[in-house]
Chains A and B, each alone.
Chain A
Amino acid sequence: MVAIPLATTFLQSQSFLDVLYIVAFALFIQGLRGLSGPTTSVRGNRIAAVGMAIAVIATLLQRNEGNWGLIALGIALGTAVGVPAARQVKMTAMPQMVALFNGVGGGAVFLISWSEFRLTHGYQGTATYIAIFSLFAAIVGSVSFWGSNIAFGKLQEIIPGRPITLGSGQQIVNLVLFILAVAAGVDIAAGDHSQGIFIGMLVCAALLGNAVVLPIGGADMPVVISMLNAFTGLSAAATGIALNNPALIVAGMIVGASGSILTNLMAVAMNRSIPAIIAGGFGGGGAVAGAEGAGEHAGTVRSTSAADAAIQLAYANRVMIVPGYGMAVAQAQHAVRELTKALEARGVEIGYAIHPVAGRMPGHMNVLLAEADVPYDQLEEMDEANQEFGRTDVSLVIGANDVTNPAAKNTPSSPIYGMPILEVNNSHSVIVIKRSMNPGFAGIENELYYEPETSMLFGDAKSAVSEITAALADI
């Protein structure tokens, strides 16, 4: 009779719960370390999941936990939505999925801040710093929620993928919304208890989330998704400080760090600066197209046929596949895998050169190729691939454009000068599969197409690759 209350007291003591939280975040870190390689990654993900289970159990053990019916309802709803979504989503739809999950995370954060505000009648009786972190979480969470939903809508093609802008006033509108949201937050932190102001702040942040993401085109999505990922993480960390919960602080901050690293990586790979991105500097591509103009090249373009391409590939020792956004859009990855299998059967050595921004989110191309059964060790990151092009007989460029443009290295006046590229032009010959000679996303002529070693195979990525595979069977 005495033992049970004692045990309960122990389980509910704050020190014990804090220890559980520490165990939980240690498992998160250990789990993420597993992601450093494909063989340890599955286990890493499961370790992190165990950490999450411990953190949730610790919270449910809190002495003043209650309202079990509501908790059960919320968890049941979340599970009913989350499990089928995760099981059924196609790998091509992964960017939308990540955007949506990111959005609900941000949504949870701002709703929690709002409930805190209401419960304390405007942060009365709480320390100012708690109000500040809670308000920060509300603003950033709301931006992330709405921004992610717009990103989801664009990727899912519910909303047109092309940039939707307010023109030159866009940055001013963004700035005004930002200032209004922050000003409302400062007002509340300074002691205003009006819920109207709080809701106004949430609305400004919501509009800001929309205004930042709507002007962004489909090809720019990798940067946006990473950035929103960082936002949700940082807002979770702020919630952790407001609630004095170490597991939330650590987990949120790690996600914030991860998102920031990826955003930076994507920005570098696309030759853009992060401040320009946050200020709404996307869509500069349109202006560039006019300035650069065509007709600079007097060189000739050599076009080839599927049969000739098949012969070229069949007699190569080493072939490098360079997949890009266009291949992902055409969903040609399975067709490409069939082609490389046929080539491998002929003893051709195959590699895939993956630019960091190939696909619609960081690393998306790798997932698509992994799903199409491409062995992990054939996937080569940019630096690795660039050392290989010199001994590559044929590079097959499928739906990639700007990331192969030698102007990024050779032409200081080019708008993409300095952007890291796949040095496809170093290989002995290049076959480019492309719909037409239209310049790519950035509107810049690709010098690669005029090089003597390059031949163009015009057509849809998927059917062109299938035609090569068919032609290969006849050789």
Chain B
Amino acid sequence: MILASVLTTNLAILVLAGFIGFVVISKVPNTLHTPLMSGTNAIHGIVLLGGLLIVGLSGNGVFNKVILVIAIAFGTINIVGGFLVTDRMLEMFKSRPKPPPAKAGDHKNEKHDGAGAG
């Protein structure tokens, strides 16, 4: 009985999360789809929690400990790397709210481009 109710609760969460996901993600413009993908990459790094939960249980042998450390490392790469790289990308979209009419700004941009190409 108890198990069944845990399962149905979790399935309800799953279904609702699916609908919310569709609604929220549908509002993301095409322009931001790459940051969206790297951001969702960071979010699925949440599997880290699975590794953390299981590694804490007693009875893990050496092999299990090794694969769990790898899993934790993988999850951490996802989370840390994903959020950082998304932040980097989004900053590029944010930092220029207006077209640059100023001459000084143009010069700075040219320098920046030159450095990037080199």
Q: Which A residues fall within an 8 A CB radius of B?
A: 25, 28-29, 31-33, 35-39, 41-42, 45-46, 48-49, 52, 55-56, 59-60, 62, 64-67, 70-71, 73-75, 77-79, 81-83, 85-87, 89, 91, 94, 97-98, 101-102, 104-105, 107-109, 111-112, 114-116, 118-119, 127, 129, 225-226, 229, 232-233, 236-237, 239-241, 243-259, 261-262, 265, 334, 337-338, 341, 344, 354, 356, 361-364, 366-367, 370-373, 375-379, 381-382
Residues of A within 8 A of B104 (CB): none
Q: Indicate if the CB atoms of A70 and B28 lie closer than 8 Å.
A: no
Q: Indicate if the CB atoms of B25 and A257 lie closer than 8 Å.
A: yes
Known: A55-B49, A248-B49, A373-B109. A29 touches B34 (CB 8 A): no
Q: Indicate if the CB atoms of A82 and B84 lie closer than 8 Å.
A: yes
Q: Indicate if the CB atoms of A127 and B3 lie closer than 8 Å.
A: yes
Q: Indicate if the CB atoms of B17 and A105 lie closer than 8 Å.
A: no
Q: How far is the CB of A238 from chain B (nearest CB, A)?
A: 9
Residues of B within 8 A of A247 (CB): 46, 49
Partner of B74, one of A59, A91, A108: A108
Residues of A within 8 A of B74 (CB): 78, 104-105, 107-108, 111
Q: Measured between alpha carbons, how far is A225 from B36 in the docked complex, in Å?
A: 13
Please name 5 further chain A to chain B contacts, defined as beta carbons within 8 Å, in addition to the given A75-B72, A78-B76, A258-B36, sorted by A numbering: A67-B65, A240-B10, A257-B22, A259-B40, A379-B31
Partner of A255, one of B22, B40, B65, B72: B40
Q: Indicate if the CB atoms of A115 and B18 lie closer than 8 Å.
A: no
Q: Indicate if the CB atoms of B86 and A375 lie closer than 8 Å.
A: no
Q: Measured between alpha carbons, how far is A226 from B33 in the docked complex, in Å?
A: 10
Provide a sorted-by-A list of 25 A–B residue pairs whose CB atoms are within 8 angstroms.
Answer: A28-B43, A32-B39, A42-B94, A45-B39, A48-B83, A64-B58, A66-B55, A71-B72, A75-B72, A82-B76, A85-B81, A91-B89, A127-B3, A225-B37, A233-B44, A239-B47, A241-B14, A252-B44, A252-B47, A255-B41, A256-B18, A257-B25, A370-B92, A371-B92, A375-B100
Q: Indicate if the CB atoms of B69 and A89 lie closer than 8 Å.
A: no
Residues of A within 8 A of B52 (CB): 56, 59-60, 65, 71
Q: Indicate if the CB atoms of B30 and A354 lie closer than 8 Å.
A: yes
Residues of A within 8 A of B49 (CB): 55-56, 59, 243, 245, 247-248
Residues of B within 8 A of A256 (CB): 18, 21
Q: Measured between alpha carbons, how far is A64 from B110 in the docked complex, in Å?
A: 57
Chain A residue at smallest Cβ distance from B97? A39
Q: Indicate if the CB atoms of B36 and A363 lie closer than 8 Å.
A: yes
Known: A354-B30, A373-B112, A375-B100. A78 touches B44 (CB 8 A): no
Q: Measured between alpha carbons, how far is A375 from B102 in the docked complex, in Å?
A: 14
Known: A41-B93, A55-B46, A86-B84. A363 touches B30 (CB 8 A): yes
A/B pair count, beta carbons within 8 Å: 384
Q: Indicate if the CB atoms of A375 and B99 lie closer than 8 Å.
A: yes
Q: Measured between alpha carbons, how far is A233 from B46 in the docked complex, in Å?
A: 10
Chain B residue at smallest Cβ distance from A231? B44
Q: Indicate if the CB atoms of A254 and B61 lie closer than 8 Å.
A: no
Chain A residue at smallest Cβ distance from B81? A82
Q: How far is the CB of B76 from chain A (nearest CB, A)?
A: 2
Q: Indicate if the CB atoms of A112 and B54 lie closer than 8 Å.
A: yes
Q: Indicate if the CB atoms of A86 and B27 lie closer than 8 Å.
A: no
Residues of B within 8 A of A240 (CB): 10, 50
Q: Indicate if the CB atoms of A107 and B71 lie closer than 8 Å.
A: yes
8 nearest CB pairs, A to B? A78-B76, A74-B72, A257-B21, A363-B33, A82-B81, A86-B84, A362-B33, A253-B17
Q: How far is the CB of B47 from chain A (nearest CB, A)?
A: 5
Known: A46-B87, A101-B81, A361-B34. A246 touches B75 (CB 8 A): no
Q: Indicate if the CB atoms of B35 and A35 lie closer than 8 Å.
A: yes
Chain A residue at smallest Cβ distance from B101? A344
The listed residue with most B CB atoms (<10 A of its CB), out of A46, A127, A232, A253, is A253
Q: Indicate if the CB atoms of A115 and B112 lie closer than 8 Å.
A: no
Q: Measured between alpha carbons, how far is A361 from B41 in the docked complex, in Å?
A: 14
Scan residues 66-118 of chain B and give those whose CB is less than 8 A from a CB of chain A: 67-94, 96-100, 106, 109-110, 112-113, 116-117
Scan residues 1-43 of chain B and give those whose CB is less than 8 A from a CB of chain A: 3, 6-7, 10-11, 13-14, 17-18, 20-22, 24-43
Q: Indicate if the CB atoms of A74 and B76 lie closer than 8 Å.
A: yes
Q: Measured between alpha carbons, how far is A57 from B113 in the docked complex, in Å?
A: 41
Q: How far is the CB of B36 from chain A (nearest CB, A)?
A: 6
